[in-house]
Amino acid sequence: MRTDMHVQHGRPEPGPEIWIRGPVALPEEPSPSPAAVTPRRFSWVGVHGGAGASTLAAVYGGHDCGRNWPGPADPPSVLLVARTHAAGLAAALGALEVFRRGEAPHGLDLDAVVLVADAPGRLPRPLAERVKVIESVIDVYRVPWVAAWRLGELSGQAPREAAALARLTGRFR
């Protein structure tokens, strides 16, 4: 490694040289503290009535757009929200088609689809197959049935089955 090299006319001038054997450690940059990292903000867009966008915005943070597209002052990163019943999954596929055709408002980024369980337990096979179709085109985050949310109790812990969604939104309560 040369420590004293001058360049004239595009060619280096000779000067003292220092050679180092082995890897050279670069100075470490201080990593930001967890408190200093600002979680990414999202706009939650329900693709049908009762999808759960308001509940998810309350639990995970971000902007609740209801069933509307985000406005100019809202975060442009969109999370589409749907229930896992047949009508909800069909609405999610329809909203994905709007993005695919380029008919969504300019400047929006579709980040993922969030599927909220419409009932406790496993999905019936026909619904699980529709979920696979959605998963084949975009990231999908699943939120299980949370009885407390049904009662309006949103201040408790987010379900551990939705840990990936908590990481995405930066909400680890």
Domain limits, the chain: 43-169
| E strands in the chain | 6-8, 11-13, 43-46, 63-64, 77-83, 109-116, 140-143
Distance CA 88, CA 76 (A): 23
Write out the two tokens for 157.
């812990």
Distance CA 7, CA 96 (A): 56
* Ordered per-residue pLDDT tens for the chain, 173 residues: 444 444 455 555 555 555 445 454 555 555 545 554 556 789 999 999 999 999 999 999 999 999 999 999 999 999 999 999 999 999 999 999 999 999 999 999 999 999 999 999 999 999 999 999 999 999 999 999 999 998 999 987 889 999 999 999 987 65
Distance CA 114, CA 42 (A): 12
* Main-chain dihedrals φ then ψ at residue 78, nearest 5 degrees: -105, 135
Q: What is the pTM of this model?
A: 0.77
Distance CA 19, CA 14 (A): 14
Residue 35 CB contacts under 8 Å (≥ 6 apart), including other chains: none
